[in-house]
Amino acid sequence: MRLTAFVVAISGCLACLIAFGFSDPGAVLDPLTALLAVFALATNLLSARWNRSVELSGSLIAALIAGAFLGPAPAFTVVVVAEVAGWGIERLRPIALPLNVFGLGAPALVAGATLQTVAPSGPTKGAVFYLTFAALAFAALGLNVLIIGAVHSLHDGERPTWGARFLRELVPVWAVNVAVTVAIASVYATAGLSAAALILSGLLALTYQLRLVARAEERTREYASLSWGVLSGMLRNLDMRDRRTARHSAAVAMFARDIGRAVGLPEHECELAHTAGLLHDVGKFALSDRVMEPGVQLSETDWKGVRRHPELGATMLKDLGVYGPIAEIIRTHHERLDGRGYPAGLPGEEIPEIAKIVAVAEVYDTLTSDDTYRTKMSSFEALTELRRVAGSQLDERYVEALGQVLGGTGVEYRHAGGADFDRELDVERRISEAVAP
């Protein structure tokens, strides 16, 4: 397959070279050709991205403009200069050079020849020219994707991913490229080379800034991925020591989010409650194995360690850097309204609202689950107990909100025996949200 892909790419390059040989080379040394070649190389090296789905094709934009004003030979020259230099500088894999020259050169040659026929001479261009130019630019982008995608898939042994969804995602990409291409052509036609150079320089500066943004986004993604990897790894390790940890964390997260929605919190605060529920026991990672063993009679020293787990968890999260609000929730989720909670004995007015929600969710799941260290209660019995301690230990508003949530659910939800840690964790979604603007 790889050999076939090479043969196709090299054959395409040879065909482009033959077409180049039959073209008029008179304008190859025109200053516009040099300017566009530099622009094409620079944008390729910067990998210009407007966002995750829209990318500027520097070589093709420059080649199309060269073809519009100078003809197919300069258009192909721009492609060859930019792609050969870029391939050498970036040290891309061997298939990249012939494939890119073929994939960009063929559309550029076709568009250049066609535009030369439509407007063979003179800098002044009318509406017919620009409409034709836009249509050809759009078609050139499609041909480029077709060639690159087909040969790339053949080389890597993959099936092309073309389809309705693929095309829907590409249409905005092509629209941006066509708009930029036509705009630059219009500036050159009306104001000359100096104005075009100024516009291209500004576009390069914007490209560089967007590259910095893309790089920062990628670093944020990597950091978020590492952070969640560390946290989920700690919870899985904790689950090996205490088999209820993962399920319990998933259940508390689920209940906390749904309580938040029931009382009308904004969605981002509901997600904050959900995340805090997942991580509320992460501080137990620092406790000794003896404390974590079921059925062990704990000493006063052991209990002091247990009561420190909210503070330990908050410290862990704070050190990771991006979990400040969650860290404070974790720190206070065992505080009580009457000030008799731990670790700081805070009164109710000093406890964050989401921490109060997590506290209700945790107590409820502890009372109703099979894997707890106490006698399992029914949902009705647990709600009765929560209402009994509402106003002293728990916030009555959130207890009643939980009752409202449970009223329309089945046994599987009310007892959360099937709560799934991986489903609630949903790492990919969290990483995407971490890098979202």
Does position 48 have pLDDT exceeding 50, yes or no? no
- Residue-wise pLDDT tens digits, 96-109: 888 888 888 898 89
pLDDT in the model for residue 181 = 86
Please report the domains of the chain, with CATH numbers, ordered by start residue: 2-191 (1.10.1760), 228-435 (1.10.3210.10)
Lookup result for tokens 């560089």: 208
CB–CB of 419/251 below 8 Å? Answer: yes
Average pLDDT of the chain, as a whole number: 81
Phi then psi for residue 55, to 5 deg, are -125, 135
- Residue-wise pLDDT tens digits, 239-283: 666 667 788 888 999 999 999 999 999 988 998 899 899 888 888
pLDDT band at 207 (very low <50, low <70, confident <90, very high): confident
pTM listed for this prediction? 0.57
